Amino acid sequence: MEKLLKELQDKEVGKVLPNEPLANHTTMKIGGPADILVEPKSLEKLQETMKVIDAYKMKWTAIGRGSNLLVSDKGIEGVVIKLGNGMDHFELVGNEVHVGGGYSLIKLVTIISKKGLANLEFAAGIPGSVGGAVYMNAGAHGSDMSKVLKKAHILFEDGTMSWLTPEELNFSYRTSILQKERPGICLEAVLEVEEGNREEIVALLQKNKDYRRDTQPFSYPCAGSIFRNPLPDYAGQLIEKAGLKGHMIGGAKVSEMHGNFIVNDNHAKAQDVLDLIAFIKKTVFEKFGVKMETEVEIIGRK
């Protein structure tokens, strides 16, 4: 590990931090250390990083802005690659947005909407990065990334890279092929926008932002929605009907604002959140016969 660390530092690939607490890099403010955290300063430096990792046969994990993520209290083995500064380029080319995987989705939506360009208003207030949004097919208000993506530049588990179409990404509800069938991360995305009425677009953007602010507890550290909606039911409604709003285990609490959010109320550990997830699953199944599946990604040492 020391040799790997020194080689990454010597190659000046970007920030290289040993034993970095991942609580500093997740929206839930939870997570033990990464053996090494690397934030590459360019796509070229990311490619260099991957060659070094492959040479050492080291495990690696990628994260973006840390939303929709629960990291184990024991941290993550190997190298954690954070797509952040250096992977957050942005360019508008006609009716296409060319954007880095590390770019803030909220920032992107705001900029595009103020230019009088439509299609991304659904994502107003969705935390996280563009790459993460592609990875999980993030969506709201009747739309999602699959409806606006033209192609995505993907880094696969074996270190190879390729551009994939929406069809090849095999999108479905909060899911893409990158999660299980063909693990990978989105480095860049090309999104399709169209000209519209600027005032109407900005008004819809604000409406969606206000709805999220008024119904979801983003003033607390949280990871976003914990469970997928077991359609035709909604996870938050089932949890509320089960009387679980406000229920706490350790420092983790079911939000009193929205049942499908678990907030870090008081220095919660990942284990507190996992125990609360298990309790919610058990209670909802016993009361309603519905099996709940997590939407939040749970990663790290067991």
C-alpha pair distances (Å), 214 with each of 206, 209, 226, 236, 287: 12, 9, 18, 15, 28
Domain containing 99 equals 90-215
Cβ–Cβ under 8 Å, residues 25 and 75:
no
> What's the one-letter identity of residue 21?
P
CA–CA distance, 107 with 93 (Å, rounded to integer): 18
What local confidence, expressed as pLDDT, does residue 181 receive?
Answer: 84
75 sits in which H/E element: none
- The residue from 39, 121, 188, 295 that is catalytic is 295
| CATH number, residue 42 | 3.30.43.10
Q: Which among 54, 82, 110 is the end of a domain?
A: 82
pLDDT in tens, the chain (302 residues): 899 999 999 999 999 999 999 999 999 999 999 999 999 999 899 989 999 999 999 999 999 889 899 999 999 999 999 998 888 899 999 999 999 999 999 999 999 999 999 999 999 888 889 999 999 999 888 899 999 999 999 988 787 899 999 999 999 988 899 988 888 889 999 999 999 999 999 998 888 888 888 888 888 999 999 999 998 999 999 999 999 999 999 999 999 999 999 999 999 999 999 999 999 999 999 999 999 999 999 999 98
Nearest to 122 by CA among 143, 97, 146: 143
CA atoms of 72 and 164, how far apart (whole Å): 31
- Same structural domain for residues 42 and 70? yes
Q: Is residue 46 part of a domain?
A: yes
Q: Which listed residue (174, 176, 188, 255) is catalytic? A: 174
pTM of the entire structure? 0.88
Cα–Cα distances (Å) from 225 to 79, 102, 113, 261, in that order, read 27, 21, 25, 5
Q: Which of 215, 247, 265 is the endpoint of a domain?
A: 215
**Residue 201 forms part of a structural domain:** yes
295 given a catalytic annotation: yes
Degrees (nearest 5) of the Cα angle 296, 120, 66? 30
Q: Which of 215, 247, 278 is the last residue of a domain?
A: 215
Establish whether 104 is a catalytic residue: no
CA 188 – CA 161 distance, rounded (Å): 11
pLDDT at position 216 is 87
DSSP 215-277: HS-TTS-B-S--B---TTS-HHHHHHHTT-TT-EETTEEE-SS-TT-EEE-SS--HHHHHHHH
So what's the pLDDT on residue 213? 84
Which residues have C-beta within 8 Å of that of residue 165, sequence separation ≥ 6? 150, 151
Annotated catalytic residue: which of 72, 113, 225, 255? 225
Per-residue pLDDT, 157: 79
pLDDT at 95: 93
Q: d(Cα 103, Cα 93) in Å, to the nearest integer?
A: 17
Structural domain includes residue 209: yes
**6 within some domain:** yes
Query: For the residues of 150-206, what is the DSSP string, one character each?
Result: EEEEEEETTS-EEEE-HHHHT-BTTB-TTTTTS-EEEEEEEEE-EE--HHHHHHHHH
Q: Can 225 be counted among the known catalytic residues?
A: yes
The 3-state DSSP class for residue 85 equals coil
Mapping DSSP onto H, E and C, the string for 22-50 reads HHHHCCCCCCCEEEEEEEECCHHHHHHHH
Q: How far apart are CA 277 and CA 270, in angstroms?
A: 11
What is the number of domains present in the chain?
A: 3
